[in-house]
């Protein structure tokens, strides 16, 4: 199930958007959440296909001024249910470590 969340971690505000498949929907969500909450970090789950109509392309074109390339995290895709949790856990740990540093 997709979700949007706003979390305050100490003095930092984080927006999380898991709904990254539809580039138009993601753009609207980002605009609204950024305008409403003024987050320090935005975490977006989107496939990394760099092609016309992809969420990744939309993010790199419309939000280029907000993207810090070294904070882009790519995870290895796996259809193995046992590995899916591991991969996501590593991504979450990386994200949290960058936010709280």
The answer to whether residue 90 sits within a structural domain is no
Q: For the whole model, what pTM was predicted?
A: 0.81
The answer to whether residue 50 sits within a structural domain is yes
**Separation CA 34–CA 26 (nearest Å):** 12
Number of domains in the chain: 1
- The single residue listed with the structure tokens 């990386």 is 94
The answer to whether residue 95 sits within a structural domain is no
Phi, psi of 86 (to 5 degrees): -60, -45
Q: For residue 9, what pLDDT is reported?
A: 87
Phi, psi of 9 (to 5 degrees): -110, 95
The answer to whether residue 92 sits within a structural domain is no
The answer to whether residue 84 sits within a structural domain is no
What averages of pLDDT result for each successive group of 10 residues across the chain (101 residues)?
Answer: 90 91 91 95 85 88 85 80 82 87 76
The answer to whether residue 60 sits within a structural domain is yes
Q: Looking at residue 74, what DSSP letter applies?
A: -
Q: How many Cα atoms sit within 13 Å of 8 on the Cβ side?
A: 4
The answer to whether residue 78 sits within a structural domain is no
The answer to whether residue 87 sits within a structural domain is no
N- to C-terminal Cα separation, the chain: 30
Q: For residue 46, what pLDDT is reported?
A: 82
Q: Domain range holding 9? A: 4-72
């Amino acid at each position: 199930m997709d979700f949007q969340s706003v979390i305050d971690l100490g003095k930092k505000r984080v927006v999380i958007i898991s709904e990254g498949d539809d580039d138009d929907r993601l753009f609207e969500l980002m605009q609204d959440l950024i305008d409403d909450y003024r987050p320090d970090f935005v975490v977006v789950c989107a496939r990394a296909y760099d092609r016309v109509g992809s969420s990744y392309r939309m993010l790199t074109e419309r939000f280029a001024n907000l993207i810090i390339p070294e904070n882009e995290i790519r995870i290895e895709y796996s259809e193995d249910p046992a590995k899916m949790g591991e991969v996501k856990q590593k991504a979450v740990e990386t994200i949290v470590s960058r936010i709280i540093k």
